Structure 1
């Protein structure tokens, strides 16, 4: 059925959507790597004629290249402005042993973000039939995570005896060094030194203000400046200065606002809110709170993740979840799995939509937006994977799709108002084809 649909669609549409400039593709690991390839072949390349600059970020090849492939992929993203990334493994001791790695390589996401800078924006994919753990969240909340420094580029250590922990700053101009005594250890313990830069914080601020303007939503920035008066105070001061000098008139025009809040106060406010705002977080705060938001809206499998660079032009889109190792282990044993592909599909659509905007390609933009709408419509019709079905029905095999379902023997139809999406006959056909194709993907995984 899927093959016939492909042939019919390509015959009606005559040709694929032409894309003028390349997109960087970063492949990944485990179950998401399998899903990624399926999405690319069945949904993307059958309909979009795009040159993909391919980089294999699977852990074996990262090890083979001493992680140079990760650096190369980030530099290519700088060159071509758009990247789509599959989920990847960040190795720990067990992974080093499992893969026989040369060393414990750093997080590829961390490496890429440190090269590109900018902000990771995460936003839930809303499906009306997926219940929210926080029912008051009737509209999306976008979280902007600073993608540089702090704990993620820190130097941490363990001490096993008494001694002084000091931090020294030696100016590059050769002037007198400054020294701070952090702690006098009476016995063993641990310590850490971390940093950030004015340049990176400034880029973070610009990305957040521009994103809020694009969404026409208010922006909140959260820190703990009452405790970290200098460190977090620097974030607060830079944000306020940039807002006053560059963005206040536009915010006033749109009748939106910017406000700094303490992180603990902000967390409480988020839970009480109905949504529709952008929340700017420092690196660690954003890491933690984005997962809380994802689960609060229903599932980590329904969360977009886009790194927006300070130039406002360069982005890298990815799924917010990991490589789904547990499902991959089952897949290796030949057992059925029910792995949610939607966040990976949205990684492709967000990247392609941005490519379309940069290139002035309305057909590509429409394709990306249509594919997203059909993903949501598919779930809202009742066709979904186990993680989403569990939110509604509990984990009964009756309510979700696996490889062994007899999906293609059924005459499944999805009743949505196709005419409200577009009046084009080609796109109407395309929508119907996508609905069935996405059902096919759900049935495979």
Structure 2
């Protein structure tokens, strides 16, 4: 049978460890037998990022802005142990943080729900979508180790030489200090993306920060969201029959845990990172979570919401079989192919992306699963298989 044709390439960002192995398997088993795959390949594996002084990450993000759609494998954000393990020149920042800063978008994450896996939060009936701000905060921070008594000041210097300063802390001994930042432009883009996504999906939008403590930093987020809603979206939301409201993040967490789901929950960068993992775990597995970065210009970058599955990778290096769940990475590929198809008017490619997801979900619902779902799926005929066996079962359904 003739392969499905593509017009415009995807930006393909390869990654690290076990997810890099799964990435190759998905292409070989699921996609390439059916699609004449066109991608522009960027190797974001940690070794290559180090060799290029992380320029490859910047190049990949810039090309994504040009082509409009990317798909990204999970990547390592190095710590001190990785510095030694990979003999790195420096402790490179999060590649996701770099990409998000360049695209200036919002990350939308939602669980992949299947029959037979009941969310641990029993009242959740519909998926909750996490809208995570994708710029600044701890992912682009500046940090110092304080090695003795000193005074830490926060200083603003304007082009005309005018300065404003505040003392952060008077250190009497060693410690740490951290500086975070954000911009009105990025916060506004975040808010606009959230309001547009909520309208597009006809879902209520919640936004939560901690402005009672962070009166200026978090308070600025709250102020910008409310202003954009009041001046641009209030009437549209009312006409669509959906609502927007703000609450403190601790109150939001309590509300979320007793809700039935079916709404968009907008959060700052780090809050969104943590809460999306909580949401994924509560719905079954970190590997059962979709993630897409949407920029204000309509650029899309699809990725898995989890990490590189290091523990399984070390077992793989020993020649052992692993049962790593490929669903999030598989849905990153299907999401990117679908969006590319929609932008290029390729109905057959869009249908293929839909069939990938349908076949994957049916494979799990019929009992063929990876090890992480063994204690979660309610099915008397369930069978735990390796990653490759799972992907071949999906391919058979296709």
- Same fold, TM exceeding 0.5? yes
Match of 2:395 in 1: 437
Could you tell me how far 1:235 is from its partner in structure 2? 0.5
Cα deviation 1:217-258 (Å, max 9, x = unaligned): 000010111111111111011111111222222211210011
In 2, the alpha carbon distance for the partners of 1:49 and 1:262 equals 49
Contact 1:375 1:438 (8 Å CA) reproduced: no
Alpha-carbon offset, residue 400 of structure 1: 0.4
The change in CA–CA distance for 1:404 and 1:67 in structure 2 (over 3 A counts) is closer
Question: Any idea what the Cα deviations from partners look like across 1:391-428, whole Å, max 9, x if unmatched?
Answer: 2379x9983013798x9xxxxxxxxxxxxxxxxxxxxx
Helix, strand or coil at the partner of 1:24: strand
Contact kept? 1:82, 1:314, Cα under 8 Å? yes
Query: Do structure 1's residue 41 and structure 2's residue 28 form an aligned pair?
Result: yes
Gaps of 5+ in 1: 1-9, 408-432, 441-445
Alignment partner, residue 347 of structure 1 = 332
Please tell me whether residue 364 in structure 1 is matched to residue 349 in structure 2: yes
Residue 439 (structure 1) shift: 7.7
Q: Is residue 313 of structure 2 the alignment partner of residue 325 of structure 1?
A: no
> Which residue of the partner structure matches residue 214 of structure 2?
228
Using the size of structure 2 for normalisation, the TM-score is: 0.95
- Which residue, out of 229, 253, 258, partners 2:244? 258
Contact 2:291–2:302 under 8 Å retained in 1: yes
- Segment drifting more, 215-224 vs 15-24: 15-24
User: For 2:145 and 2:381, how far apart are their aligned partners in 1?
Assistant: 48
- State which of 196, 206, 209 in structure 1 corresponds to 2:195: 209
- Give the match for residue 175 of structure 2: 189
2:80 to 83, 93, 115: 93
SS in 1 for 2:375: helix
TM-score using structure 1 length: 0.85
Report the counterpart of residue 136 of structure 2 in structure 1. 149
Q: 8 Å contact 2:367–2:381 — kept in the other structure?
A: no
CA contact (8 A) 2:142 2:178 kept: yes
Q: Which has the larger radius of gyration?
A: 1
Per-residue CA distance 1:259-279 (angstroms, 9 max, x = gap)? 111000000000000100000
Taking only aligned residues, the RMSD between alpha carbons, in angstroms, comes to 2.2
Q: 1:397 to 1:129 in 2, by over 3 A?
A: closer
Equivalenced residues, count? 398
What's the counterpart of residue 145 of structure 2?
A: 158
Report the equivalent of 2:383. 399
